[in-house]
Chains A and B, each alone.
Chain A
């Protein structure tokens, strides 16, 4: 079980251009609450990095700062070497609570990002229809969100993020509101998405198993004060057949190790 690697928080950057998103010395205070303190982290291009940690440790805050939806109190985020000043076309967000328009059908919801970018109707609907098929919702184009299950709603949210074709996909606990079976299917789909789409994924989760199953790199965040305590790269797992990962000794080993370091933070 050798291929496991642990590195200090501010891991040295890889070769030039290999880092898609770089977070430098981010601090974020909400009034007196110190949500993030001097946090630095690099996200390799084309890979999936999980932000894993107990709830309240600042995962959502970090993701929204990367998205440009929140201003850090201090520090910088760079996407492809350019500092982030706000939301940009290079990043797309998948929301924990889906954030679908209840008055719009699936087609319009998926096309909404393109609509806001001023893409002509016929063009954006053609693109949206393609991604609706890709996430497995063909036939539901005219359905409204309230007619869909939680899992289907999140597929709409995912299709909307894919449709704008951003290089970086930010996902905030996207599968936390769906049932276990759907969740497993999602995780498999996510793996093939990472393989087939040439995108950088930043994936927030509080599930250790989920993080180990889908990630190229796992950043473990700990609260009080919030910081990256460890970075784990389950490299060996990515070569293996998805059907066998959960039985793999390396998988089990990493899950155990992460649990050992998180255990002391769970009341």
Chain B
């Protein structure tokens, strides 16, 4: 029931923020503000335009990187999943990419692409793309053999079988890859701003920490997490409208 799940979400939010407030009041650390202080700082930055300017900056590499990762990632994943030799050629790249310590790659990226937008988009993509590619490829390869055979028996073309059988069958795993990839992309966007050049939300975090304005720092972190959660919820809605029957469960029992 949607109302019940909403209530549960609200309850867990109340518990989490309550714990934050209490931890801030004890205080756990001199550098840890209360929830209310942080929200005040957030309200202040929202009103004076700091937040809007920061997000205008941060969202650019994030949006471009996430869009590239989603489109290219799904396309490459489909391709890897559908063709033997492509799997052999490209799969290792994404496995390495997923395992690579990003911080170690950033100096390399900066050397090649400078400190501008390109490097930041790359960081987002490196974070977001591998899990999208690998999930998509795995899901495509695991399409039940008998469904593909059924498609052939009823005269489906290769294209029909991909569009009407393989992709819908893979969609739950593709979407879970998208969710993981996009959350990683959010982390990548902030990481890029902390490690390459302090701009946008990363700049608020760096600057407010340097002047010991911890309430602003935590409110900036809070805002990016909130944005990620909202975005992931929207993605879930999209999945539901696109593949209604899938969410209703599988007849594999």
We find that the number of chain B residues with CB closer than 8 angstroms to chain A is: 28
CA distance A104 to B169 in the complex (A): 11
Given contacts A93-B150, A95-B150, A116-B160, contact A104 B245 (CB under 8 A): yes
Pair A67/B153 contact, Cβ less than 8 Å: yes
Given contacts A99-B146, A103-B246, A144-B249, contact A113 B168 (CB under 8 A): no
CA distance A9 to B100 in the complex (A): 64
Residues of A within 8 A of B40 (CB): none
Residues of A within 8 A of B169 (CB): 101-103
Given contacts A95-B146, A103-B246, contact A146 B253 (CB under 8 A): yes
CA distance A144 to B168 in the complex (A): 15
Per DSSP, chain B at the interface is: helix
Residues of A within 8 A of B146 (CB): 95, 97, 99
Cβ of A138 within 8 Å of any chain B Cβ, yes or no, is: no
Cβ of A227 within 8 Å of any chain B Cβ, yes or no, is: no
Given contacts A112-B154, A116-B156, A146-B253, contact A69 B243 (CB under 8 A): no
Cβ of A145 within 8 Å of any chain B Cβ, yes or no, is: yes
Residues of A within 8 A of B149 (CB): 64, 69, 95, 99
Pair A69/B245 contact, Cβ less than 8 Å: no
Question: Residue on B with the closest CB to A70?
Answer: B149
Pair B250/A146 contact, Cβ less than 8 Å: yes
Pair A103/B245 contact, Cβ less than 8 Å: yes
Given contacts A92-B154, A116-B154, contact A101 B249 (CB under 8 A): no
Cβ of B164 within 8 Å of any chain A Cβ, yes or no, is: yes
Cβ of B9 within 8 Å of any chain A Cβ, yes or no, is: no
CA distance A105 to B246 in the complex (A): 11
The 6 residue pairs across chains A and B that have the minimum distance between CB atoms: A103-B245, A145-B251, A99-B150, A113-B154, A146-B251, A93-B153
Interface positions of A (Cβ within 8 A of B): 64, 67-69, 87-89, 91-93, 95, 97-105, 112-113, 115-117, 144-146, 148, 153, 160, 164
Other A-B contacts than A69-B149, A102-B245, A164-B154, 11 sampled, CB-CB below 8 A, are A64-B149, A87-B154, A87-B155, A92-B153, A97-B146, A101-B147, A102-B251, A105-B245, A112-B154, A117-B155, A160-B154
